[in-house]
Amino acid sequence: MPKTARWAAALTLTATAVCGPFAGSALAAPQPGTSGLYAPSAMVLTMGHGEDAAVATPERAVTLTCAPRPSGTHPAAVKACAELRSSDGDFSALNGTSGAFCTKQYDPVIVTVQGVWEGKRVAYERVFSNDCVKNSATSALFAF
């Protein structure tokens, strides 16, 4: 074997050993099972009694992350994220449980949401007349 052929063979074997047999295209391809870039969706939801979030003491707080997968301390993160996706992140458009029977007792409950939905900052606040009305406003999002 001529000297240049041995040199080329040695370089090829070294490159294969260091970079792997498919160095050109395999390194540029995405790995199976990984997701691409996503817009962050992570929020903190609070609940307290009162008519104004500025003076109401939060009684409960949960975290909700919807991207890349539902998680957080919310007890029904998967369902809550599905509700938000169905309304395109519009908290006012969420439909609750139809046919729920609630008393007319006035014991105001305030829910706040602070964070990011699909890369956009969100700040939402809503007062419900009582816990029953709050729980029927959405099926999972405000049930914590």
Are the beta carbons of 74 and 144 closer than 8 angstroms?
A: yes
> What pLDDT digit, counting tens, does each position of 11-63 carry?
344 344 334 444 443 434 444 444 557 788 999 999 999 999 888 999 999 99
> What pLDDT digit, counting tens, does each position of 77-106 carry?
999 999 999 999 998 888 776 667 888 999
The HSE-up count of residue 94 (CA atoms within 13 Å, CB side) is 24
Give the per-residue pLDDT at 143.
86
Give the per-residue pLDDT at 36.
53
The dihedral built from the CA positions of residue 21, 23, 24 and 28, taken in this order, carries a sign that is: positive
Give the mean pLDDT of 118-141. 89
Architecture of domain 41-137: 2-Layer Sandwich (3.30)
Provide CATH 3.30.350.10 ranges for the chain.
41-137
Helices vs. strands in the chain: H and E counts, helices first: 4, 4
Confidence of residue 138 (pLDDT cuts 50, 70, 90): confident
Report DSSP state, residue 71: B
- The fraction of the chain above a pLDDT of 70, given in percent, is 72
**pLDDT higher than threshold 80 for residue 10:** no
